[in-house]
Amino acid sequence: MVLLNHILSFSGLFVLLTHANSSPHAPSRLLGVDWDLWTTLNASVDGHLHLSRPFELPCFSLFEGQAVSPDSLGCAAVQANYTDPVFRSEHFGAYMQSQWETCQATGSGCLLDDSDPTNPAAYQDKDCQTGNIAPAYIDVQTVEHIQAVYAFSLKTGVRLSVKNKGHDYKGRSSGWNTLGLWVSHLNAGFMSFNETFVPESCNTSYRAITIGTGVEMQQLYAFADQHNVTAVGGYHRTIGTGYFLGGGHSILSPVYGLGVDRVVEIKVVTPDGRFRTVNECEDSDLFWALRGGGGSAFGVVTELTMRVEPQLTLQAAIIEFPANLSNLVSWYELMVNNSLRWGQEGWGGHIVGGSLIHVNPLLNQSAAQASMQVAIDFAVAQGGSGLIDELPSWNAFFLKYVTSAEAPVGPELMLGTRLLNTSLFATDSGKIALSAAIANALPFSTPYIVVGTPFLFPYVEGTTSVTPAWRTSLWHFSVKERFYFNSTLQDRQSEYAQVDQHIQVFRNLTPGSGAYFNEGDVYEPDHEQSYWGSNYKRLLEIKEKYDPYRILDCWQCVGWRGAGDPLYACYVQI
């Protein structure tokens, strides 16, 4: 309560920074705290405290209402790399879905036009504002830095946010009115392969790779490949730790499980200040909670260890055709009708519009060809193409196909998603109902289908905290919408509301199922049930045990205090 009262004593959005007269960006008070306390904190984090800057700032001549000199070289680099995930991941003030840099409720922010970043309408004579970016952050290098920040938060009431690579779809790594812990450089170079990794205090051994929290997918895949093994991870170069804590689907998940299924040990600094090694033998309750409950509700993770598979030969199906509303209706129907068989045969992949990329680690090339022929024939009849390509490894597949097909970054994008029960695909009535719902959704949004549920994976009951609905689903289904750099509040409210309305149709088709915590509707109704189902009650008890003073908080995370918490003043109301 002390914390909450402290926050409530803030009068509004614009008391964040009180500028000293001498220098426009040297505040005497930040987040309501005197500068000398910040100086002390800075010393205890070895000088790694920084004031934040939107990464688009070099293009602007006004910053928080004060004149600044634009930096034309810096601006050109931002413009040239505006939709480059590697470039974005290197800036604290950049997010992959760029609306999370802005305060969507007030419109304050610093965006460029993602469809043409050189469009001067976005930045000429416009004020660049810090928006939803944490106004100050620690570039975390050590466990001690995290402990110092927890102590600072307890003492001052300043609230915290945790950001790694900034992929979040729901703003959980943004931080209006918070001090940010940026973990992207923490153990960023650290990767280690062990043929016989034994989790601390345990007897079982695993073939495993340990990664520092700053390691991103493309580094992990290259490292695994060097050791002639396969790591299961996301379909994007720069995804970070949030993946392994919130679920983690891969197109290999149908056979090898979710990211959370593969984690065998996690090192984490809990809000009580302790640095813990957690696994099935030590703090096993917390280990379970971190395998699906998300990171920034339970602690800050510094490294994690995952099981790996042998090097895999993969059959990749690459199918595409020029799509229009009428052939898409038949195409999605074909997808619905064949997906259960494909699932049983070990395929995983993505379907979006007239494009399918799937992989299969179980079939040989001729069996893969026969299995996919019906889809290849469809594409060819529409003037498209289809082939089965045999790849010697996951990394070879990733480099050849994923880096050019991964989801785009830079636009202001939002999702509505649902885990679709396997049972829907098993009956004529289920198939017809699902195909009809997709046909109705098509004029609004081309569904993005992830065939990445742990369909064939031999799950051991009770080992992870993601919603059990993952285990009985075949598709992770999504519709998406976007708004623009110059959107109005009304546009933003309307886009979120439309996504929510369209995905509701799929919720109604799948009563009792759920959704993926990392890729959910920002305004997911009954989110506790959707993301965790029957696991929520225990997750909340574990949250209370390890974070008794409620130092860590994020939107719709375990222990969420609701949209009325002043932390979420930048979320629009729909």
Ligand X SMILES: Cc1cc2nc3c(=O)[nH]c(=O)nc-3n(C[C@H](O)[C@H](O)[C@H](O)COP(=O)(O)OP(=O)(O)OC[C@H]3O[C@@H](n4cnc5c(N)ncnc54)[C@H](O)[C@@H]3O)c2cc1C
Residues lying near ligand NAG in the complex (CB under 6 A) are found at 42, 47, 49-51, 77, 80-81, 84, 86-87, 119, 121, 192, 194, 196-198, 202-203, 228, 281, 310-311, 322, 324, 326-327, 330, 333-334, 337, 364, 366-367, 382-383, 421, 423, 428, 431-432, 468-469, 472, 484, 486, 510-513
Contact indicator for 114, 82 with CB cutoff of 8 Å = yes
**Tokens 């079939």, residue located:** 363
463-486 burial code (b ≥16 CB/10 A, e <16): bbbbbbbbbbbbbbbbbbbbbbbe
CB of 259 to ligand X, least distance (A): 6
Fill in the per-residue mask, 87 to 126: x = in contact with ligand X (CB under 6 A), - = not in contact: ---------x------------------------------
Asked if 464 interacts with ligand X (CB under 6 A), we say: no
65-80 burial code (b ≥16 CB/10 A, e <16): eeeeeeeeeebeebbe
Asked if 243 interacts with ligand X (CB under 6 A), we say: yes
Among 114, 519, 547, 553, binds ligand X (CB under 6 A): 519
Using DSSP, state whether 462 is helix, strand or coil: coil
Among 98, 102, 132, 164, binds ligand X (CB under 6 A): 164
Which one of ligand X, ligand NAG, none is in contact with 407 (Cβ closer than 5 to 8 A by kind)?
Answer: ligand X
Which one of ligand NAG, ligand X, none is in contact with 446 (Cβ closer than 5 to 8 A by kind)?
Answer: none
Pick the stretch among 57-65, 166-174, 223-231, 333-341 that binds ligand X (CB under 6 A): 166-174
- Sign of torsion over alpha carbons 454, 207, 266, 182: negative
Which one of ligand NAG, ligand X, none is in contact with 163 (Cβ closer than 5 to 8 A by kind)?
Answer: ligand X
Which one of ligand X, ligand NAG, none is in contact with 409 (Cβ closer than 5 to 8 A by kind)?
Answer: ligand X
Using DSSP, state whether 86 is helix, strand or coil: helix
Instruction: Let me know the angle formed at the C-alpha of 400 by 395 and 403, rounded to the nearest 5 degrees.
Output: 85
Footprint on residues 408-437 left by ligand X (CB under 6 A): 409
E runs forming strands in 57-189: 62-63, 66-67, 127-128, 136-139, 159-163, 178-182
Which one of ligand NAG, ligand X, none is in contact with 167 (Cβ closer than 5 to 8 A by kind)?
Answer: ligand X
Which one of ligand NAG, ligand X, none is in contact with 203 (Cβ closer than 5 to 8 A by kind)?
Answer: ligand NAG
- Sign of torsion over alpha carbons 198, 199, 200, 204: negative
Footprint on residues 287-316 left by ligand X (CB under 6 A): 294-296, 300-301
- Whole-number Å distance between alpha carbons of 301 and 260: 14
Could you give phi then psi for residue 304, rounded to 5 degrees?
Answer: -150, 155
Query: What's 427's DSSP letter?
Result: S
Which one of ligand X, ligand NAG, none is in contact with 547 (Cβ closer than 5 to 8 A by kind)?
Answer: none
Contact residues for 292 (Cβ-Cβ < 8 A; gap 6+): 245, 246, 247, 260, 464, 465, 466, 467, 517, 532, 535
- Pick from 538, 552, 543, 503: which is nearest to 523 by CA? 503
Specify whether the backbone of 2 is left (phi greater than 0), alpha (psi in -120 to 50) or beta: alpha
Among 135, 180, 212, 234, binds ligand X (CB under 6 A): 234
Asked if 168 interacts with ligand X (CB under 6 A), we say: yes
Which one of ligand X, ligand NAG, none is in contact with 432 (Cβ closer than 5 to 8 A by kind)?
Answer: ligand NAG
Size of the site for ligand X (CB under 6 A): 35
Residues that bind ligand X (CB under 6 A): 96, 162-169, 172-173, 183, 213, 234-236, 239-243, 246-249, 294-296, 300-301, 407, 409, 518-519, 554
